[in-house]
Amino acid sequence: MFKRFFAAGVLALAACGSASADGPVRLIVAFPPGGPVDLVGRVLAEQLTRELHQSVIVENKPGANGNIGAAYVAKGPRDGTVLFLTSVGAVSISPSLYQSLPYDPVKDFAPVSRVVDNATVFVVNPSNPASDAADFVARSKAASQPVAIGSSGVGSIPHLALEMFADASKANVMHVPYKGAAPVINDLLGNQVAGFFGDVPGLITHIQGGKLKALGVAAPARLAVLPNVKTLAEQGIPGVESNNWYGLLAPAGTPPAIVDKLNAAVRAALANPEARKKLESFGAQPAPSSPQELAALIASDRAKWGDLIQRKHIKVD
């Protein structure tokens, strides 16, 4: 009897820890270093290291719209030592975009907390004469050929935002998919493509530096970091809202005590004034949630983006 109680006590104590004592917590980012998810991940890792009293390191595993990183975490240990900082894509878009996935987005993860909200902004080269998105639409309709709008890939948030924009505005545009955000942004800077819908964190320095011009934000309200940029709805283009939120997931089967401890650590990390200032400076809005709220968000966005993908017959080659 004593042995059973002793064993149960040891297991309970183990479950209260966030990770093993002899190694760091690895925060998996499914995109390359230097991108928006990586930037947020490094701010979060620094703060979680303080909150958990254990080293938290970012490990980049890019590829396949986040699916490679997702599959890695899905097979990871259930002790809080491997975590997944995901964008909306891997858990709410990929299930409708791919016929098969190397992970189950519903069964393979335990939601911990939403981390940040990221609005999408429509940008063009400064040489583009359009004064705002409505003017861009009018000019596109007068053009003899469809206007090329780049995206970071088929089924990406920039692509899906463009599809919503085209439906709502009837703009005369053509989708040009790239392999990632960096090449399309480089071509936009070089005026090789006419426009791009992208996450604010990945574009804010170019906008503030005058290298790109923001024509509208796909959000319900104007952004504090871009207060003079109108929403698309303000410009008569309703229903185009895109939030490429980032959330923290653990492998399914992670004990609830560990999930709760991680959730508390994320909340404390995002409440830190220094961390909030860093995130807000590049356009990410700290938005911690309960595990249940994140699970509901994943499900609702899966329905939203899945419907669009089905209606527009979007497929990955």
- CATH code of the domain containing 107: 3.40.190.150
Element (H, E) at 36: helix 36-52
Looking at the fold, whether 155 and 298 belong to one and the same domain comes out as no
> Would you say 236 and 137 are in contact if contact means Cβ atoms under 8 Å apart?
no
Structure confidence by residue, pLDDT tens digits, 266-275: 999 999 999 9
3 found inside a domain: no
Q: Which domain holds residue 34?
A: 25-117+244-312
Structure tokens at 208: 């503030």
10 found inside a domain: no
Q: What is the CA radius of gyration of the chain?
A: 21
| Neighbouring-strand partners of residue 243 | 119
pLDDT at 22: 59
Average pLDDT over residues 186-201: 96
Last residue of a domain, one of 199, 216, 235: 235
Looking at the fold, whether 39 and 96 belong to one and the same domain comes out as yes
248 found inside a domain: yes
220 found inside a domain: yes
pLDDT at 9: 43
18 found inside a domain: no
Alpha-carbon distance of 181 to 197, in angstroms, equals 10
The SS3 call for residue 243 is: strand
Provide the domain count of the chain: 2
94 found inside a domain: yes
| Gap between the terminal Cα atoms of the chain | 60
- Provide the pLDDT confidence category of residue 21 given band limits of 50, 70 and 90: very low
pTM of the predicted protein model: 0.88
- Provide the pLDDT confidence category of residue 49 given band limits of 50, 70 and 90: very high
Structure tokens at 111: 């939601």
5 found inside a domain: no
Looking at the fold, whether 130 and 205 belong to one and the same domain comes out as yes
Looking at the fold, whether 132 and 104 belong to one and the same domain comes out as no
In angstroms, how far apart are the furthest CA atoms of the chain?
84
Structure confidence by residue, pLDDT tens digits, 167-180: 999 999 999 999 88
